């Protein structure tokens, strides 16, 4: 499938959020997906994943997650990039992350070429996707190995995201690697328990044997191509309503 891409500036309150929009060529109206990156922002690795998702018939919007601090910056997958990304996260409040989310969803909701709105994300972006699910406009969400969800760690303050799980009205799918030290088995049990207690007993949980943290990032030794293909196929099927 041929794709079209454009860089857009999403208007927010006193600033703009840079984003890449990727969609199938020639499609009239398709579902829209906001895809949240890991701490490294709009790397080519993440954009390759976004293109794969778009090729399955979605308009994918990939916003920068640090528009106030690292606008226009895609970080390298090295120690310096990691430190810079973590520092930007630590300086961003939950209220700021939420304001960015609202701006991006407003931007997508105003488009005439979209049907439903979905959310997805990786690592910190998986946590941000979970918070996007708090918006009633989001019909379904897929969180890939969301970090900080079990203990509230997102940015400068305690996000308390699990405590708001009952506010989620759409579908929810969670994907983890069994060997993820950032979200080990006890943390996954804590997340699942909180979600069940909040009434989300119809969610989907996928834990891939042997999968490490960021196993879907196609750069570095942790990448697992087979698990990546499985996880993406399940995510697409889930967002399509298993049709």
The two tokens of residue 135 are: 């918006």
pTM for the whole thing? 0.98
Residues in the chain: 243
Q: Which residues of the chain have pLDDT under 70?
A: 243
User: How does pLDDT run across 11-60, given as a tens digit for each residue?
Assistant: 999 999 999 999 999 988 999 999 999 999 999 999 999 999 999 999 99
User: How does pLDDT run across 213-225, given as a tens digit for each residue?
Assistant: 999 999 999 999 9
Give the Å distances, CA to CA, from 239 to 14, 16, 44, 185, 234: 33, 28, 24, 26, 9
The two tokens of residue 210 are: 């042997």
Q: Rounded to 10 degrees, what is the CA torsion of 148, 189, 164, 156? A: -10
pLDDT at 243: 56
Interacting residues of 232 by C-beta distance below 8 A, sequence separation 6+ = 49, 52, 53, 216
Interacting residues of 35 by C-beta distance below 8 A, sequence separation 6+ = 46, 49, 50, 53, 60, 61, 62, 119, 120, 121, 125
Give the Å distances, CA to CA, from 63 to 123, 135, 212, 231: 15, 17, 25, 22
């Amino acid at each position: 499938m041929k794709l079209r891409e454009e860089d857009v500036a999403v208007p927010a309150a006193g600033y703009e959020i840079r984003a890449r929009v990727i969609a199938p060529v020639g499609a009239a109206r398709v579902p829209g997906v906001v895809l949240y990156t890991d701490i490294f922002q709009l790397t080519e690795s993440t954009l390759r994943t976004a293109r794969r998702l778009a090729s399955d018939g979605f308009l994918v919007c990939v916003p920068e997650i640090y528009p106030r601090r690292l606008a226009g910056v895609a970080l390298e997958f090295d120690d310096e990039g990691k430190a810079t990304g973590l520092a930007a996260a630590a300086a961003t409040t939950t209220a700021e992350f939420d304001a960015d989310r609202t701006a991006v969803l407003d931007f997508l909701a105003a488009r005439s070429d979209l049907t439903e709105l979905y959310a997805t994300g990786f690592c910190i972006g998986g946590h941000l996707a979970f918070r996007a699910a708090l918006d009633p406009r989001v019909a379904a969400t897929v969180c890939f190995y969301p970090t900080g969800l079990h203990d509230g760690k997102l940015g400068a303050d305690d996000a308390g995201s699990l405590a708001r799980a009952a506010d989620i009205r759409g579908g929810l799918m969670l994907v983890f690697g069994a060997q993820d030290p950032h979200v080990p088995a006890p943390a996954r049990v804590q997340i699942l328990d909180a979600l069940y207690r909040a009434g989300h007993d119809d969610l989907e949980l996928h834990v891939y044997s042997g999968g490490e943290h960021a196993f879907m990032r196609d750069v570095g030794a942790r990448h697992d191509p087979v698990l990546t293909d499985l996880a993406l196929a399940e995510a697409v099927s889930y967002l399509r309503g298993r049709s």
